[in-house]
Amino acid sequence: MEHTTLLLIKPNATAKNKIGEIIKMVEDHGFVIDRLKIFRFDTELGRQFYAIHAEKPFFSRLIDFMTSGKTVAVVVHRDNAVAFLRKLVGNTDHTQAAPGTIRHLYGESITMNAVHASDSPENAVREIGLIFPEESK
């Protein structure tokens, strides 16, 4: 079944000019880009986007990081998009990520792990709506 999902290229990867390399990896794995946007999270959007982590000890560190620079949001689709993108992205901890995954190649820490990928079709819809509100109306 074909799904749409969201990839965020986080500030550490954008600062190191890895946007093109990451997008090429995604396209080379059969994903089709539907929308693309370069923006900077503000604190409010960061809090909404990562609300699931609000009570966790790393939440403020995560928000500080996500508001520290440019992020690239990429809406992609393919069969089983969520599962395949999560596999391509790799483990949150880049030191535990499989070789060849995006986080293995570009992650620097658990927080600065280069990318975010939606973890379910339902969360993809919610996250895409937050990042692209003008297209969700």
Q: Tokens 């395949």 — which residue? A: 84
* Catalytic residue (one of 3, 94, 104, 116): 116
Question: What is the spatial distance between Cα 120 and Cα 118, in angstroms, rounded to a whole number?
Answer: 6
Nearest to 101 by CA among 22, 19, 27: 22
CA-only gyration radius of the chain, Å: 14
Q: Could you confirm whether 53 is annotated as catalytic?
A: no
Amino acid at 45: L
Which class for 57: exposed (0-12), middle (13-18), buried (19 or more C-beta within 10 A)? exposed
Q: Which residues pair with 2 in a beta bridge?
A: 79
Catalytic positions, written as ranges? 116
